[in-house]
Amino acid sequence: MEFKLNNGVIIPEIGFGTWMIDDKEVKDIVKNAIDLGYNLIDTAEAYGNEKGVGAAIRDSGYPRNYIFVTTKLDGNVKNIKDAKKCFQDSYKKLDIGAIDLMLIHSPQPWGEWKDKNKRYFKENLEIWGMLEEEYLYGRVRAIGVSNFMIDDLENILNNCNVKPMVNQILAHIGNMPFDLINYCKKNGIIVEAYSPFGHGPILNNKEIIKMADWYGVKPTNICIKYLMQHGLIPLPKATSNEHIKDNLNLDFTISDDDMKKLDNIKDNDYKEYSKFPVFSNKE
C-alpha cells in the first residue's frame, strides 16, 4: 500500500528511522534496510547523518525514484537566512538530487519546547515561504512540518500558497493525539509517526504482549500495525538486520475490538528519554 500526498506525490506506507545512528554507521544500516524492503528513509539535519544516508542511497544499486528520502530543517533555526543555509547544507550532504520531502523539524527551538509564550508563528511562515520556493524550483518534491500542533498548522494553512503535505509527530500505542491526527486528515495532511515503540517501555505492556502472542507476532509488529490501521505512516528504527526484517512482518490485521483495546492504553513514560524535549510530557 502507498499514500498519495496532497500534491499527488506517492509516499510509501512505512519508513525507516535513523535517529541516533552515527553517520559512520548509517550507510551500511540504511543499505541493509533498503535491501530488506524499506524504500522510505527518514533523516534530519539534527541527526548528523545526512551524508551517510545520501551515500547509502547513491550506492544502494536501486533507481533513485525507488527510494523516498525525508530530511528536516534544524528546529532551532527560526530566521530565513539560516534556514536557507540549512536547506543548502542538507541538499549538499545528501547529494541525491531533489529531496523527496523536507520538513520544518519543530515549530519552536528545542529549548523553548511547548512554551506557550514563544510561538514563532511569523518566523515559521517566513521559513515555510522559503520551502515553497524550493518546492517550486523542483529541489524538493514535497514539503511539510514536524511536531506542529493544531494552531501551528492553522498558522501555515491560513497564510500559505502550498499546503503542508505531511506532519511528522510522536504517536504510538499509549500516546495517540487523536485531535491533532484528525485535524491533519481533515486538511489533507498525511501523518507520519516517529518513535512507534515509545522508545521501548511500551513493549513491556502486558496487553500488547498478550495480543502479540495471539496474532503470532512480536509486540513491535503490533505497535507498527496499529499505527498503519489508523492511517499513519510509522517510522520504526532498528540497527540489526534481524530487527529491521522483523519490523516488516505485517501480514496480519488487528481486529476492531483489539484496536479499541489498544486505543485505551495510556502509557507515555519514556524513562531516560524524557530528557529530550519531545518526550518530556511538558505542557
- Given the DSSP bridges, would you call strands 190-194 and 166-170 parallel, antiparallel or unpaired? parallel
φ/ψ (deg, to 5) at 3: -115, 150
Domains contained in the chain, CATH given: 2-279 (3.20.20.100)
Please identify every stretch of the chain with a pLDDT value under 50, giving residue numbers as ranges.
Answer: none
**pLDDT for position 125:** 98
Tell me, what's the pLDDT at 281?
Answer: 65
DSSP annotation of 201: G
The grid cell for 75 is 528546529
DSSP-derived 3-state class of residue 233: strand
Tens-place pLDDT, residues 226-245 = 999 999 999 999 999 999 99
| 93: three-class secondary structure by DSSP | helix
Looking at residue 226, what is its pLDDT? 98
Question: DSSP class of residue 97?
Answer: S
Q: Would you please indicate which residues are annotated as catalytic (active-site) residues?
A: 47
DSSP secondary structure letter of residue 194: E
Hey, is 180 helix, strand or coil?
Answer: helix
Q: What is d(CA 175, CA 226) in angstroms, rounded to the nearest whole number?
A: 12
